[in-house]
A and B are shown apart, each in its own frame.
Chain A
């Protein structure tokens, strides 16, 4: 059994200034066996703290954590299983390979702790090294290897005990973009082979989407939304999730009698139907830059002006002025319009969100500093 259950998990910190910060606020979550599950959120949202509570490096302030049918932390019963007895695999952002041990000894460490016989250690280490493509550098010390290779050592070390659950704490963010991509595939391949459950912590939404079966978006210590990557991308529950999962425009708008007008004095309503249950008033119209069309003839489009054109590798980016606001649009290289010309835009899949209060944004920046 390698299902992971979090019940009412809460973690409070007291900062040096004496402020109480709720890093993780009443988490309830079940991660299924064999699943690749991501915690996604900006820095300071509590995702790493949650992972460290699962690993056993942080005590809970409240709640319970279960691995399968075995409790590992129950605050009310003062039950706490130390990390070394939880039987997990873990890979850290900083790789955390031991500089005083060579590659073989790094990977052999967990087996030596288990006091396995020599030949078995050798066999299992070699097998782990061959899965991570490190066989040729067994006797090398980590400082002589590249970042990617060091991260492979960490991977090999975590799979050598054949754990049922693997915790990955931003394992790819210290690697360069190209390596990052290939390591994603390697992690996926290893999971397929050994069939462990993965909890993956990251602030990179494309990484989370590419890797996970389900993901969780966190903000300010709270779960905002849980679901499969496509569900979340298609149906973000609020402005934060929408903005976090991809490029986005948020046009400040005002709804009057069911008609939506951009703020800043335009007379024409935007062709958009206010969702049910939303009352008149201020709001945000969210759109993705690649889900807006530009044309030179009206054809039901909304009048706007091309402010700037940037030719980029994967698209052309236009900065479009609507009243006093500006939005970004990505089109294919086929659509070249001159700067300064008037145009019409078509929102293909816009969404309405309530505005976020300034306090929330302030809190987010404060947490990042902590």
Chain B
């Protein structure tokens, strides 16, 4: 990789005369890649929606938007996202306060539990809860019906409420992490000075702490809102069987049903535009909220904040938190694990019903599964490496070179944040299935391109964070010692940000390994990914095999996370 990079740099610098230097070369290269991978797909969606040939044509858009089934999808999407945001924010705030400001014991255990939902895709949760609470076959419902002798289930997970519940379980850590870190960085004397001024604990929380962490709450809540708006997996698994559609699942259905026909893709594109409009509206809202609270609360001595004594409430609150975290986090994983060993779905969870057969089948016999694992590993590693270097290059241009078009470059690289994966997939199809003379449809390369576009924002953000720590004087010192620009980059800057680059790689590798939303529209007969394979097996009704494969995925993800933790710990000193 080092070779690749130096090679690239050298070619660039050798190419130009003195006026066309390395920096300009990097700028143009970054711009080119982003325009092709990010801007083209988005433009193509707009063009295909509003133009028929070269003629402007609004009819399709209005027709699609006003179709009753699409209207109900819009309403469902907004309703679900709104409820997930409200519940997720409340849950996140509650835990953040407990961990950040109360004297509750076992904080370490709880914090570790919180990182688990972060690791796994929400659609695993949907599968797990469906195993327990599917109206007729779910284990918990069956137990309930046995006990009561009735025929009505305890709870039905295949409802809007069920979708909201599962998404909340997976998205509340957004608010939790934001607020806990804000509480930790907050100068404790801000609260202490209010105490000295005569205010009691609850008054301080209401008038000082809460307003000060409001920007963090808003940021976390908006993250939940946007994630839920563009989320595909959970409504797909829980909603299809009950005819509950959201915009992403509706788009998927349109494309899938049309079997690649141009009309179907155009309709999908129209709905995509609608989804993007909703997401952009949410982002705009976020900007409005964040604008009001722009201040620095990170300063002061590193004194421990005064912890609020819970006294009598300590044990009840601790039990509630541990039980709820256990139910949200541990139970679903356990369900998937155990069902993966079951001879057939629906059999009682007893030792004699367990078998290794599912694993033998998926790992030994199913060509499709083996392909999917290889595909996902290839895609995650290659998109991880390529995107990480792309991110470093863009971040370098934006932060250190600062050319004239820097703002545009930055916007382009951060744009994929707000583009739902399913929309990006449609754009990629429109660009890369022959429209410009290149047809990658049904190949693995089209998925790779989509992954790069999807994760370039992550890479760019993480690379910027490490590059900003490298003071420009370090590079200047190298130049003054006689190093060329290229040498100072290669010998000073890159080694300094190497730990950040490794972490950045895993930030892409891990989500790419479990990716579903984009791949589900792009896969071909031989290019299924791990996520797609699990999803497909599950929708065919082979629940036990799907669970077994999900367990394999969990294993890979856990190993990746452990590797990441090990590496970041090792490099701490740098």
Are A and B subunits of one complex?
A: yes
A: residues with CB less than 8 A from B are 55-57, 82-90, 92-94, 96-100, 109-110, 113-114, 141, 143, 154, 157-158, 161, 167
Q: Are A84 and B301 in contact (CB under 8 A)?
A: no
Which of B187, B195, B208, B211: most chain A Cβ within 10 A? B195
Q: Are B196 and A100 in contact (CB under 8 A)?
A: no
Given contacts A114-B198, A161-B198, contact A83 B192 (CB under 8 A): yes
Which of A93, A94, A143: most chain B Cβ within 10 A? A94
Tell me the bound Cα distance from A239 to B211 in angstroms. 50
Within 8 A of A (CB), among B187-216: 187, 189-190, 192-200, 203, 207-208, 211-212, 214
Q: Which of B190, B199, B293 contacts A113, CB < 8 Å?
A: B199
Given contacts A113-B199, A113-B203, A143-B295, contact A100 B193 (CB under 8 A): no
Q: Does B297 contact A (CB under 8 A)?
A: yes
Q: Are A98 and B208 in contact (CB under 8 A)?
A: yes
Q: Are B190 and A96 in contact (CB under 8 A)?
A: yes
Q: Are B299 and A94 in contact (CB under 8 A)?
A: yes
Tell me the bound Cα distance from A99 to B209 in angstroms. 11
Given contacts A99-B212, A99-B296, contact A90 B203 (CB under 8 A): no
Query: Separation in Å of the A131 CB from the closest CB of chain B?
Result: 17
A–B Cβ pairs within 8 angstroms, 16 of them: A83-B196, A84-B199, A89-B196, A90-B196, A96-B190, A96-B192, A96-B300, A98-B194, A99-B296, A100-B293, A109-B197, A109-B207, A113-B197, A113-B198, A113-B199, A143-B295
Which residue of chain A is the closest to B190 with respect to CB atoms?
A: A96
Q: Are B193 and A154 in contact (CB under 8 A)?
A: yes
Q: Are B189 and A92 in contact (CB under 8 A)?
A: yes
Q: Does B306 contact A (CB under 8 A)?
A: yes
Interface string of B295-324 (1 = CB under 8 A from A): 111011100001000000000000000000
Q: Are B293 and A92 in contact (CB under 8 A)?
A: no
Interface string of B162-181 (1 = CB under 8 A from A): 00000000000000000000
Which 7 pairs, one residue from A and one from B, show the smallest C-beta to C-beta distance? Answer: A94-B300, A99-B295, A110-B197, A96-B189, A96-B193, A83-B195, A92-B189
Given contacts A57-B192, A92-B193, A93-B300, contact A100 B295 (CB under 8 A): yes
Query: A93: which B residues are within 8 A, CB to CB?
Result: 189, 300-301
Query: A110: which B residues are within 8 A, CB to CB?
Result: 197-199
Q: Are B300 and A84 in contact (CB under 8 A)?
A: no
Query: Separation in Å of the B202 CB from the closest CB of chain A?
Result: 11
Given contacts A57-B192, A99-B295, A100-B295, contact A157 B197 (CB under 8 A): yes
Tell me the bound Cα distance from A90 to B189 in angstroms. 10
Which residue of chain B is the closest to A94 with respect to CB atoms?
A: B300
Q: Are A99 and B297 in contact (CB under 8 A)?
A: yes
Query: A56: which B residues are within 8 A, CB to CB?
Result: 195
- 19 new A-B pairs (CB below 8 Å) besides A57-B192, A94-B301? A55-B192, A56-B195, A82-B200, A83-B192, A84-B195, A84-B199, A92-B189, A92-B192, A93-B301, A94-B189, A94-B300, A97-B193, A98-B190, A98-B212, A109-B207, A113-B198, A114-B198, A143-B295, A157-B197
Tell me the bound Cα distance from A6 to B297 in angstroms. 34
Q: Are A109 and B212 in contact (CB under 8 A)?
A: no
Which residue of chain B is the closest to A142 with respect to CB atoms?
A: B295
Query: A98: which B residues are within 8 A, CB to CB?
Result: 190, 193-194, 208, 212
Which residue of chain B is the closest to A58 with respect to CB atoms?
A: B306
Tell me the bound Cα distance from A93 to B190 in angstroms. 11
Tell me the bound Cα distance from A55 to B208 in angstroms. 19
Tell me the bound Cα distance from A97 to B207 in angstroms. 13
Tell me the bound Cα distance from A96 to B306 in angstroms. 15
Tell me the bound Cα distance from A84 to B306 in angstroms. 13
Which residue of chain B is the closest to A43 with respect to CB atoms?
A: B301
Tell me the bound Cα distance from A98 to B293 in angstroms. 12
Interface string of B388-422 (1 = CB under 8 A from A): 00000000000000000000000000000000000
Interface string of B199-235 (1 = CB under 8 A from A): 1100100011001101000000000000000000000
Query: A109: which B residues are within 8 A, CB to CB?
Result: 194, 197, 199, 207
Which residue of chain B is the closest to A109 with respect to CB atoms?
A: B197
Query: Separation in Å of the A369 CB from the closest CB of chain B?
Result: 12
Interface of A is mostly: loop
Tell me the bound Cα distance from A143 to B211 in angstroms. 16
Tell me the bound Cα distance from A55 to B197 in angstroms. 11
Tell me the bound Cα distance from A109 to B199 in angstroms. 9
Query: Separation in Å of the B101 CB from the closest CB of chain A?
Result: 14
Tell me the bound Cα distance from A158 to B192 in angstroms. 12
Query: Separation in Å of the A78 CB from the closest CB of chain B?
Result: 13
Q: Which of B196, B198, B211 contacts A55, CB < 8 Å?
A: B196
Tell me the bound Cα distance from A93 to B212 in angstroms. 19
Query: Separation in Å of the B190 CB from the closest CB of chain A?
Result: 5
Tell me the bound Cα distance from A67 to B504 in angstroms. 56
Tell me the bound Cα distance from A142 to B136 in angstroms. 61
Query: Separation in Å of the B274 CB from the closest CB of chain A?
Result: 37
Tell me the bound Cα distance from A114 to B306 in angstroms. 22
Tell me the bound Cα distance from A9 to B108 in angstroms. 33
Tell me the bound Cα distance from A56 to B201 in angstroms. 13
Query: B306: which A residues are within 8 A, CB to CB?
Result: 57
Which residue of chain A is the closest to B215 with respect to CB atoms?
A: A100
Query: B297: which A residues are within 8 A, CB to CB?
Result: 99
Which residue of chain A is the closest to B203 with respect to CB atoms?
A: A113
Query: B293: which A residues are within 8 A, CB to CB?
Result: 100
Query: Separation in Å of the B211 CB from the closest CB of chain A?
Result: 5
Which residue of chain A is the closest to B194 with respect to CB atoms?
A: A109
Tell me the bound Cα distance from A87 to B196 in angstroms. 7
Q: Are B195 and A82 in contact (CB under 8 A)?
A: yes
Query: A90: which B residues are within 8 A, CB to CB?
Result: 192-193, 196
Q: Are A94 and B187 in contact (CB under 8 A)?
A: yes
Query: Separation in Å of the A279 CB from the closest CB of chain B?
Result: 45
Query: B301: which A residues are within 8 A, CB to CB?
Result: 93-94
Q: Are A88 and B196 in contact (CB under 8 A)?
A: yes
Tell me the bound Cα distance from A39 to B197 in angstroms. 23
Tell me the bound Cα distance from A29 to B361 in angstroms. 80
Tell me the bound Cα distance from A154 to B295 in angstroms. 17
Q: Are A84 and B196 in contact (CB under 8 A)?
A: yes
Query: B193: which A residues are within 8 A, CB to CB?
Result: 90, 92, 96-98, 154, 157
Which of A88, A92, A141: most chain B Cβ within 10 A? A92
Tell me the bound Cα distance from A100 to B281 in angstroms. 26
Query: A141: which B residues are within 8 A, CB to CB?
Result: 295
Query: B300: which A residues are within 8 A, CB to CB?
Result: 92-94, 96
Tell me the bound Cα distance from A303 to B369 in angstroms. 93
Query: Separation in Å of the B209 CB from the closest CB of chain A?
Result: 10
Tell me the bound Cα distance from A50 to B511 in angstroms. 50
Tell me the bound Cα distance from A92 to B190 in angstroms. 9
Query: Separation in Å of the B318 CB from the closest CB of chain A?
Result: 22
Tell me the bound Cα distance from A158 to B300 in angstroms. 19
Tell me the bound Cα distance from A90 to B196 in angstroms. 7
Query: Separation in Å of the B215 CB from the closest CB of chain A?
Result: 10
Tell me the bound Cα distance from A86 to B195 in angstroms. 10
Q: Are A84 and B198 in contact (CB under 8 A)?
A: yes
Tell me the bound Cα distance from A89 to B195 in angstroms. 10
Query: Separation in Å of the B291 CB from the closest CB of chain A?
Result: 13
Tell me the bound Cα distance from A98 to B196 in angstroms. 14
Tell me the bound Cα distance from A149 to B212 in angstroms. 21
Tell me the bound Cα distance from A22 to B296 in angstroms. 34
